[in-house]
Structure 1
Amino acid sequence: MSLPSTATRDPLSIGGIELDVPVVLAPMAGITNTAFRRLCREFGAGLYVSEMITSRALVERTPESMRLITHHESETPRSIQLYGVDPKTVADAVTMLVAEDRADHIDLNFGCPVPKVTRKGGGAALPWKSGLFRGIVEGAVKAAGDIPLTVKMRKGIDADHLTYLEAGRIAEGAGVASIALHARTAAEFYSGQADWPAIAKLKETVTTVPVLGNGDIWSADDALRMVDETGCDGVVVGRGCLGRPWLFGDLAAAFRGEQRKAEPSLGDVARTFRRHAELLVEFFDSEERGCRDIRKHVAWYFKGYPVGGELRAKLATVESLAHLDDLLGELDWSMPYPGEGAEGPRGRAGTPKQPALPDGWLDSQELVGHDRTTLVDAELDTSGG
């Protein structure tokens, strides 16, 4: 693997937030909770965004939503991502966050490709309705006031229904502080290769606010290459950091022009995995829930390392921190970094699929009667995905 260039990259300004490293942690349902954000911060620098919070649930102050918007005192700036389909509800949610001083940055989700979201007209499906998109973004920007409000989106619904350039112009005109593009359509889900040239096209279209690129950043070298090839102002990192919070250290070093790359031993991985579990227990205020949650991270952390299938299976059923300590004690902590085997893609890529959409959604880019009926219950009553 080639080492990142030693050329220093520019810092990133999002509204009034100055980031000396132009890196953003992508919101990921069930992943980017306070525990994971804190862990990533311990390794690097950047902007670390919460899990997706449903606007309606937040306005209704459901216990889960209120817990998910709570930041640890060490987290600054505090960043929250909202999902919504109704301009008034989204604006009310933004107003609440601002009035109660719960966020320093707010992002709007227009990129989620999950069927339970898109079949109701939300996420990556919503920018197709350009008037609705405009109403949500303009209302949210107004409600945010001095708090930077940004948007994250995909290229569109599928290759025949691309929305990102028009949506980018609308968002820029509405006064957002930055625009992030995951360079895939909803139909592509996470499959294939991200279309980095689309990021370059958006950067050429949007000229007054930063454009951030997202998709297939598995290493610091990838991040620098994306910036060089597309001209984007920063990067958004999602699946590449799963089981690798030290990637943010690599990114910080690379953007500062330093030749440094983490090559963690098995002991380093074990210590970080244990730290993650400890933070999850604190976040859930429950050892049982925290240990249950860390199970899904096992394959990501130990990818490429010589950990037998039987031990991996036991780690994936861990029940307590003491149990976890016993299992980690069975590892040979002196085993060195395995190289390429620990690198590369992680997380489920899936395969291209026909997006789930409301009936007749693609018939018009304007809202019609049956669209409004669908959107009434589009906002789920839960947050975090």
Structure 2
Amino acid sequence: MQIGSITLAGRLALAPMAGVTDLAFRQICREHGAALTVTEMVSTKALCYQDKKTPRLLALGEDEHPAAAQVFGHEPETMAEGAKIARAVSGCDIIDINMGCPAPKIVNNGDGSALMRDPALAARVIEAVVKAVDVPVTVKFRKGWDEKSVNCVEFARMAEAAGAAAITIHGRTRAQQYSGKADWDAIRAVKQAVSIPVFANGDVAEPADVVRILEYTGADAVMIGRGALGDPWIFERANALIETGVCPPLPPFAERIGTAVRQIELAAAQKGEYIAMLEARRHVNCYLKYERGLKTFKTRICALERLEQLYGIAEELKQTVGG
């Protein structure tokens, strides 16, 4: 599929998730079939103020193309300047604008899904970013602010008119956060309303969900978020299901826990062992989500401090679970 001048080799993308989709996790997901990866969201204001930590979130892997850098903010001029910096720092192929994040600390500043309450301002933001960068611009947003103000169809049309090359629609309102059920009917309505590519997002937890959401909504592609946590194989398994109608099984547990260890090793090389081990407490436990009876191991993982500890736990897990 095409996003402006950029060609994607598949229909599945890894959704940006703050504190989750770092370079290490994105690399693992690409190796397992994600056709597009997106950085964690970065503040354009922080980029413009030359914050030293923010550019690190934009680092892409050597072979991480095509990839998008996701930015957030609500001031058109700052968004334009920050997007230019993000493009220069990362070498990304696409700039994605976050207009869907529901976190209070984001929306209380007028960013993320708060922009769905002011489509006119959102349009000016998109237009400013499109004029500022030399790559396609995409927009990620939600069904609406709440059930009383569902405006995703109008918002999608606005984004297209403002110059967006593609959009991603999450089928929940801001009020829902990540609870309840994603509204695939809303996604289908958005797809029918615009001519640019549409990524469907929400309630995609297994390969069969990928096929169902594509068929039900008519979307061009799927952006997978939480479903990929601890399961990067969801991409290659869903790709196979789309292409052949047959979904391969998950790999043996030993391979899965080995991949978890490799992900944390990559993270440690990129950001240091201390930070990587703090983040490993969540990531490694996600790799155990299909197993039962491992409460003691999960507790130990939540106390990880060194790679050496992770190696020991991984070997014990292989012997306990087997396969």
TM-score relative to the length of structure 1: 0.80
Q: Distance in 2 between matches of 1:38 and 1:312?
A: 24
Amino acid at match of 1:268: E
Distance 1:263 1:297, change over 3 A: same
Q: Distance in 2 between matches of 1:187 and 1:140?
A: 27
Deviations 1:45-65 (A, max 9, x none): 310001001011112221211
Q: 1:281 Cα deviation (Å)?
A: 0.2
The unaligned stretches of length 5 or more in structure 2 are: none
Q: 1:101 Cα deviation (Å)?
A: 6.4
Match of 1:348 in 2: none
Match of 1:139 in 2: 128
Amino acid at match of 1:20: A
Match of 2:300 among 305, 314, 329: 314
Amino acid at match of 1:246: W
Match of 1:226 in 2: 213
State whether residues 23 and 47 of structure 1, in contact with CA within 8 Å, keep that contact through their aligned partners in structure 2.
Answer: yes
Match of 2:260 in 1: 273
Distance 1:46 1:334, change over 3 A: farther
State whether residues 43 and 248 of structure 1, in contact with CA within 8 Å, keep that contact through their aligned partners in structure 2.
Answer: yes
Match of 2:140 among 136, 148, 152: 152
Alignment of 1:101-116 (within 5 A): 102-116=91-105
Match of 1:368 in 2: none
Q: Does 1:257 align with 2:244?
A: yes
Q: Does 1:82 align with 2:71?
A: yes
Q: 1:317 Cα deviation (Å)?
A: 1.2
Distance 1:308 1:227, change over 3 A: closer
Q: 1:99 Cα deviation (Å)?
A: 4.8
Q: 1:137 Cα deviation (Å)?
A: 0.5
What secondary structure, in the 3-state scheme, does the structure 1 residue paired with 2:255 have?
helix
Alignment of 1:178-189 (within 5 A): 178-189=166-177
Deviations 1:145-179 (A, max 9, x none): 3x011000001110111221121111111121101
Q: Please state which structure has a larger fraction of its residues in helix.
A: 2
Question: Which structure would you say has the larger RCO, counting Cα contacts within 8 Å and 6 or more residues apart?
Answer: 1
Amino acid at match of 2:295: G
- Equivalent pairs: percent with the same residue? 37
State whether residues 45 and 252 of structure 1, in contact with CA within 8 Å, keep that contact through their aligned partners in structure 2.
Answer: no
Distance 1:103 1:22, change over 3 A: same
Match of 1:299 among 285, 291, 299: 285
Alignment of 1:1-385 (within 5 A): 12-99=1-88, 102-145=91-134, 147-206=135-194, 208-257=195-244, 259-284=246-271, 286-333=272-319, 335=321
Distance 1:97 1:114, change over 3 A: closer
Rg bigger for which structure? Answer: 1
Q: Distance in 1 between matches of 2:182 and 2:297?
A: 34
State whether residues 247 and 262 of structure 1, in contact with CA within 8 Å, keep that contact through their aligned partners in structure 2.
Answer: no
Distance 1:203 1:306, change over 3 A: closer
Q: Distance in 1 between matches of 2:290 and 2:209?
A: 20
Q: Distance in 1 between matches of 2:20 and 2:291?
A: 22
Deviations 1:119-152 (A, max 9, x none): 222211112112111100111111123x011000
Task: Choose 256-265 or 32-41, whichever is displaced more.
Answer: 256-265
Amino acid at match of 1:233: D
Q: 1:265 Cα deviation (Å)?
A: 2.4
Say what the alpha-carbon RMSD is for the aligned residues. 1.6
Deviations 1:212-266 (A, max 9, x none): 1100001121111111111111111001011111111112222323523232322
Q: Distance in 1 between matches of 2:320 and 2:32?
A: 21
Aligned length in residues: 323
What secondary structure, in the 3-state scheme, does the structure 1 residue paired with 2:53 have?
helix
Distance 1:27 1:166, change over 3 A: same
The unaligned stretches of length 5 or more in structure 1 are: 1-11, 338-385
State whether residues 207 and 247 of structure 2, in contact with CA within 8 Å, keep that contact through their aligned partners in structure 1.
Answer: no
Q: 1:333 Cα deviation (Å)?
A: 4.5
Amino acid at match of 1:177: A
What secondary structure, in the 3-state scheme, does the structure 2 residue paired with 1:271 have?
helix
Match of 1:3 in 2: none
Q: Distance in 1 between matches of 2:37 and 2:88?
A: 21
Task: Choose 317-326 or 192-201, whichever is displaced more.
Answer: 317-326
Name segments (4+ residues, structure 1) moved above 6 Å.
none
Q: 1:106 Cα deviation (Å)?
A: 0.8
Amino acid at match of 2:176: E
TM-score relative to the length of structure 2: 0.95
Q: Distance in 2 between matches of 1:158 and 1:79?
A: 28
